[in-house]
Amino acid sequence: MLQSVNVGHSAMTTVHANSVRDVVSRLETMVLMGMEMPLSAIRKQIASGFGLMVHLGRLKDGSRRIMEIAEPVGFAEGEVVMRTIYRFERLGISEDGKVKGELRKVGKTGNEEKHWPSG
């Protein structure tokens, strides 16, 4: 999958992880289970191969929500650099025990200003 996205194929995949940052670690681990490859090369492929990473989480009330949407924006100092675009903000608990909250925009994608109209 990692090789496919790095040669231009479109792909969508799921990975079990506790956060967007942990997705990178899980992908590294899965690649290393199948082949020997320098960690820096794996991280560079992750940084260049994926447009967005979405983390779904289970809340205390049992519901699932999008917790974060982030964009890998590069590779620096040996790490994949991520830019958070949306993050779930908890606003409290309703009378029936449901978690209240919303996904809030906290950043822009690298392509947003170039390709998407404002307004």
- Domain of residue 9, residue span: 2-108
User: 91 or 51, which is more confident?
Assistant: 91
Is residue 34 a part of any domain in this protein? yes
Q: Is residue 117 part of a domain?
A: no
pLDDT at position 91 over 90: yes
Q: Mind listing the pLDDT tens digit for each residue in 57-78?
A: 999 999 999 999 999 998 899 9
CATH number at residue 24: 3.40.50.300
* pTM of the entire predicted model: 0.80
Query: How many domains would you assign to the chain?
Result: 1
List C-alpha distances in Å: 103 to 41, 58, 67, 95, 96. Answer: 33, 14, 7, 21, 21
Give the residue carrying structure tokens 């908890």.
Answer: 90
Tens of pLDDT along 35-47? 888 999 999 988 8
**CB half-sphere exposure, 99, CA atoms < 13 A:** 17
pLDDT band at 50 (very low <50, low <70, confident <90, very high): confident
> Which residue in 101, 107, 72, 74 sits closest to 89, CA to CA?
101
In a domain, 42, yes or no: yes
Query: In degrees rounded to 5, what are phi and psi of residue 101?
Result: 175, 180
88: in domain: yes
Decide if 101 is inside a domain.
yes
**Domain assignment of residue 12, yes or no:** yes
What is the three-class DSSP state of 92? strand
